[in-house]
Structure 1
Amino acid sequence: MLKNVGIWLMITLLILSGCAPSLNKNEDEVVQKEDKQKKQEKSIVPSYQLSDETYRTILPYRTSASRGVITNQVMNRMDIGEMETGLRRLSKSYYDPEKYFFEEGQYLTSDMLYKWLGRKLTKKQLKKAVQDRVAFLQERGQKVDEERKQAIRHDFQLGLNPTIANDKSKKQQKNNPKYLTHILEHNFLKRNDDDTVELIGASIGIAMKSEYAFKTEIGGPTYHKTIDKETMMKKGKAIAQTVLERVRNIEGLSDIPIMFALYREEDKGSPVPGSYVAKTQVSDDDTNIGDWETVHEENILFPSDEGEEKYYDQQQQIKDFADKIQEYFPNYTGVIGEGFYIDEELQKLTLEIPLEFYGKGEVIGFTQYTYGLVQEMFQNYYELEIKIKSNKKMESVIYRKAGDNEPKVHIFNK
């Protein structure tokens, strides 16, 4: 039996979303304000909040109006999770989780985003695109007057990525990379005295590439263009200004505060995600972005050259931890770590230990041994999570919240 070990049930999805079923039977029923023409819908505000740092949500849960776009646009799966959770984390500085409720973006639609995420067309490309679209509609018996042609022409010019005359030109692709990958919207609601909830603010995350991968022909080689941070920041700020001007023309977003944040992606094969690098708040109906504030967040892989250069002591500690494990189980393949830092201060350390086990007894014994190492070697000022796996299956998890003296453990039965 494990001594002084508590059983911890993983509820990761609930923690990430800040959405939990109420443990209080007296849930509050409210009416969610919609457009004047739409019928008001009754909603439920859960009375229970997981912690002071997580947002409560309105039930029934409404998914994003652009659901699925992020998975089609952001190539690194690690970036998808970090972009979403990071935007909520930054939003707490502007929208207090104790006062306001969280809802996925309801205003930026999939159709809208796909138009914005494309390239702006040259005059020649625009003319052909409009002609092709008009011909397509007419073939299906639709009437296309001049007003509709203008609307079609307008839609084809909404792309926020640079124009390129010839996408088969390696030189043009490198000189005009796609910088923008995704635009993520989060909404924040307040409860009124008449038991309605209404939108009081929004956050918009703008994902920018650190590396542009492209092909000049089908089946041809993939080329890569590195995008330096300075260029990314300049392009990202200009894109954010254009996005602000556009969302101010959307009913519901025209006169509320909006927080913008720039996210710098990692390359497609990176084992750790990128991070937010800048943020700014625009008040009420303002249509111009002022100064930006640098965000000092980063995700560091251990072991790595970057980890050794920036956080040598942490990397050495993980190496010593790995050496101790090797004494107990010499045929393991190594410890992989990810550290999340804010202002160069470690906030969370996640370690993954891949091993081959031949019985539940080995899992229990190894987990117990690792638990002891955690108590001996790792300070408790940051969150710590250790995942013990075999054949890509989770065997056990050791978890300790920042400030706790003793970790909690969950050993999976299957």
Structure 2
Amino acid sequence: MKNLAKVMTLLFSTLLLAGCGNLNNSSLSSKSNEKSSKVTTTNTSKSDQYSTLLENGKYHTSAISGLSADSDSDNNSNAAAFEHGLMDISKKEFSTDRYYLQEGKFISASTAQKWLDRKSDKNPAGLNPEDNGSTDPDKRKPIYLQQLLEQDFYTQNGKNYTLSGMTIGLAMNDVDYYTKEKYGAQFETKISPEQRLSIGKQMADKIVARLRKQPNLKKIPITVGLYRQNVNDSLIGGSFFQYGVSQAKQKQVSDWKAINQENQVWPVINNEKPVNESDSDSFANFKNHVQNYFPDLSGVTAQAHYQDKKLQGLVITINTQFYGVAQINSFTQFVQDAANRYLPQQPMIEVHIQTVQDLQALITKDYNSKQFSSHVLTSY
């Protein structure tokens, strides 16, 4: 699954930068900076994806991406699900046909780390609660906030691009992992949904109030999404459960809305009930058909993503022991035919055919499309 998380991150970055031809020269205006940067924009190949801003020909990467609180949380799928889900929230408030995306640049790495750390005399800015000294799982103060993410959105006015919106993601722990001594056994404090929601909203208000102190962030809408960080032993990432908006000049987040998202691994394990039996059965038929034809496969698994109980996306991983070009080409064609025959037609679908080390082929289908496309990776 670590390879899958890396593949998903690579694919996501590729989508953001898709179609970089026909770049338009302009400038980036920011009230906090006296100097303006020369800006070009990418042209996305899909209507539901953002065009991105490149400053002086370079893609800006966020300084806070990947930072986490001082906790033993270890689930590689969380980061990809966090970023992808936050992008979906951004699209609700900042349309892809009007706004341009840039990774966050207004929260510095040092600031983010202070916010993620516990509050203390040395760190009064900490958003996580002060350590009360207890090691009892029910009495200690857990780490609630695990990660932060910022996305910035610009609009074009003539040849200038102006900051016009921001989205902040707060990844809240489902379980806080800790040790009672260095290198000791791992213990856990479970965090209830009620605690996660209440404390998440309080943190959102504090973050927005702090951001409003920056002159160029006073008059833009700031959207905040609350994400449930999945547990360490899960093979999938977590999901967003609430988001709200702080309108221009407001120092609090209002108009909170519930988000009904679920992620599930197929085949289900530990007697878990499928979110939708029909969808799960379709995958089971696909899996059986593929494995019956090619019995030497290492495994066929899927990550299913639901929104309001409706299947939105499906990422299937097929681990093979094939290394010959002819074998991979033939198998890819067979899997594409099986996908057309057995898998649901509506959701976005990706099928990753890979060895333990490398991705060998990719089969994809857009949401609400019936047409699959495939590509076998080549090496010289």
Give the alignment's TM-score, normalised by structure 1.
Answer: 0.82
Displacement, 1:406? 3.1
Partner of 1:177: 142
What is the DSSP-based 3-state SS (H/G/I as helix, E as strand, rest coil) of the residue aligned with 1:291? strand
Q: 1:340 to 1:65 in 2, by over 3 A?
A: same
Does residue 326 in structure 1 map to residue 291 in structure 2? Answer: yes
Deviates most, 373-382 or 209-218: 373-382
Does residue 272 in structure 1 map to residue 272 in structure 2? Answer: no
Q: 1:364 to 1:117 in 2, by over 3 A?
A: same
Cα distance in 1 between the residues matched to 2:135 and 2:70: 24
What is the DSSP-based 3-state SS (H/G/I as helix, E as strand, rest coil) of the residue aligned with 1:276? strand
Displacement, 1:205? 0.6
Q: Is the 8 A contact 2:69 2:146 kept in 1?
A: no
Partner of 1:389: 354
Q: Is the 8 A contact 2:242 2:256 kept in 1?
A: yes
Q: Is the 8 A contact 2:66 2:147 kept in 1?
A: no
Cα distance in 2 between the residues matched to 1:40 and 1:231: 43
Cα distance in 1 between the residues matched to 2:44 and 2:323: 41
Displacement, 1:233? 0.9
Cα distance in 2 between the residues matched to 1:69 and 1:239: 17
Report the AA paired with residue 80 of structure 1.
A
Does residue 78 in structure 1 map to residue 77 in structure 2? Answer: yes
Partner of 2:168: 204
Q: 1:360 to 1:72 in 2, by over 3 A?
A: farther
Does residue 335 in structure 1 map to residue 300 in structure 2? Answer: yes
Cα distance in 2 between the residues matched to 1:395 and 1:37: 46
Q: 1:114 to 1:397 in 2, by over 3 A?
A: same
Question: Rg: which structure is higher?
Answer: 1
What is the DSSP-based 3-state SS (H/G/I as helix, E as strand, rest coil) of the residue aligned with 1:369? helix
Displacement, 1:11? 7.8
Partner of 2:366: 401
1:81-134: CA deviation from partner (whole Å, max 9, x where unpaired): 12112112111111111111111111111111111111112xxxx3xx5xxxxx
1:201-255: CA deviation from partner (whole Å, max 9, x where unpaired): 1111111001110011112111012212222111111111111111111222122
Partner of 1:145: none
Cα distance in 1 between the residues matched to 2:252 and 2:371: 49
Cα distance in 1 between the residues matched to 2:327 and 2:303: 26
Cα distance in 1 between the residues matched to 2:70 and 2:334: 42
Partner of 2:342: 377
Q: Is the 8 A contact 1:332 1:354 kept in 2?
A: yes
**Correspondence 1:19-58 to 2 at 5 A:** 19-24=17-22, 27-35=23-31, 38-46=34-42, 48-58=43-53
Give the alignment's TM-score, normalised by structure 2.
Answer: 0.89
**Correspondence 1:308-323 to 2 at 5 A:** 308-323=273-288
Deviates most, 258-267 or 369-378: 369-378
Displacement, 1:256? 1.2
Q: Is the 8 A contact 2:77 2:237 kept in 1?
A: yes
Cα distance in 1 between the residues matched to 2:137 and 2:355: 46
Cα distance in 1 between the residues matched to 2:196 and 2:377: 43
Displacement, 1:181? 1.0
Partner of 2:112: 113
Partner of 2:4: none
1:306-361: CA deviation from partner (whole Å, max 9, x where unpaired): 76342222222222222212321223233111111111111111111112125333
Cα distance in 2 between the residues matched to 1:71 and 1:347: 31
Displacement, 1:176? 0.9
Displacement, 1:65? 4.0
Displacement, 1:14? 4.3
Cα distance in 1 between the residues matched to 2:287 and 2:27: 54
Deviates most, 179-188 or 324-333: 324-333
Q: Is the 8 A contact 1:301 1:307 kept in 2?
A: no
Query: More helix by proportion, 1 or 2?
Result: 1
Cα distance in 2 between the residues matched to 1:170 and 1:70: 21
**Correspondence 1:88-237 to 2 at 5 A:** 88-121=87-120, 126=121, 129=122, 156-166=123-133, 169-171=134-136, 174-193=139-158, 195-237=159-201
Q: Is the 8 A contact 2:64 2:148 kept in 1?
A: no
Cα distance in 2 between the residues matched to 1:286 and 1:77: 35
Query: More strand by proportion, 1 or 2?
Result: 2
Q: Is the 8 A contact 1:54 1:97 kept in 2?
A: yes
Partner of 1:3: none
* Residues paired across the two proteins, number: 366
Q: Is the 8 A contact 2:132 2:141 kept in 1?
A: no
Cα distance in 2 between the residues matched to 1:315 and 1:45: 41
Deviates most, 366-375 or 30-39: 30-39
Report the AA paired with residue 402 of structure 1.
Y
Does residue 281 in structure 1 map to residue 233 in structure 2? Answer: no
Report the AA paired with residue 281 of structure 1.
V
Deviates most, 336-345 or 63-72: 63-72
Does residue 346 in structure 1 map to residue 311 in structure 2? Answer: yes
What is the DSSP-based 3-state SS (H/G/I as helix, E as strand, rest coil) of the residue aligned with 1:92? helix
**Unpaired segments of 5 or more residues in structure 2?**
1-8
| Superposition RMSD in Å | 2.3
Displacement, 1:412? 2.1
Cα distance in 1 between the residues matched to 2:323 and 2:107: 51
1:361-385: CA deviation from partner (whole Å, max 9, x where unpaired): 3222322222221121123211111
Report the AA paired with residue 303 of structure 1.
P
Cα distance in 2 between the residues matched to 1:36 and 1:91: 23
Q: Please, which of 64, 68, 74 is the counterpart of residue 66 of structure 1?
A: 64
What is the DSSP-based 3-state SS (H/G/I as helix, E as strand, rest coil) of the residue aligned with 2:96? coil
Report the AA paired with residue 58 of structure 1.
L
Q: Please, which of 210, 223, 227 is the counterpart of residue 263 of structure 1?
A: 227
Q: 1:22 to 1:327 in 2, by over 3 A?
A: closer
